[in-house]
Amino acid sequence: MTEFSIIAVLVVGLLGGVHCLGMCGSIVGVLTGQLPKEGKRWKFHLAYNSGRIASYTLAGALVGAIGQIGFLFRDEVPVQLLLFALSSLMLITLGLYLAGFGNMVRHIEQLGSVLWQKIQPLARRLFPITSPLKALLLGTLWGWLPCGLVYSVLVTALASGHAARGALIMLAFGIGTLPNLLIIGLFWERCRHWVQSSKVRRVAGLVIMGFGLYGLFKVGYVFAVNGWAGSCHVEA
């Protein structure tokens, strides 16, 4: 299921730009406002996003390793299948939120508030952003910002049951978010109203829900074919 997960999270990253604008748009806007008026400003944005994606990849490796520990019990319960079902449900929840139905994602984001309270003061010390290195460090810290979109994908990394696969899934997700945040950074005023459009949000939400529903279908199919015992040994 790993190949499907990578494709799914890549698309989620691309379509999740409507959520990224709300979570990271103001940060990118502040960063843009502080950059030199002349020179290659894209270097700062690329550095910021590189740091952010690096943090996502590290988080993916960590939760993938945790999932691998859970697989020690797969002879008793189909751990991987249950986690994959959970990740599909998270995608459906995220899709509903983006489409304007439900607010569960906001509650999920509160889970990371404790960690963010520790990191936020470090991020503030980096301002003003006067070099690409500072932008890189800011992105590395901001990658841990409480975000329902990121948390939804982290469940998929957890379900991979392997540190390397978890890292690869989060890397794919980060690459998917890259075009959106680069565009937001370089063309902040022009793209803001388009991304906030209710029609754009609904389409993005429906597509993401589609991936979640397809994931649940795959889980149901595997369980129907293999049964409880057979589903304990499904390859990721």
Name the residue among 156, 142, 150 with its Cα closest to residue 87: 156
Q: Domain ranges for the chain, please list them.
A: 2-233
CB neighbours of residue 40 within 10 Å: 11
**Spatial distance between the Cα atoms of 173 and 162, rounded to a whole number of angstroms:** 17
How far apart CA 65 and CA 215 sit, in angstroms, is 22
Rounded CA-CA distance 201/216 in Å is: 23
What is the model's pLDDT at position 233? 47
Per-residue model confidence (pLDDT) at position 236: 44
For the entire predicted model, the pTM comes to: 0.82
Q: What is the pLDDT along the chain (236 residues), one digit of tens a residue?
A: 567 678 888 888 888 766 666 556 566 666 666 666 666 778 888 898 999 999 999 999 999 999 888 666 555 557 777 888 888 898 898 888 888 887 777 777 777 778 888 888 888 888 888 888 998 999 999 889 888 888 888 988 998 888 999 999 999 999 998 887 777 666 655 665 665 667 877 888 888 899 889 889 988 887 777 765 545 444 44
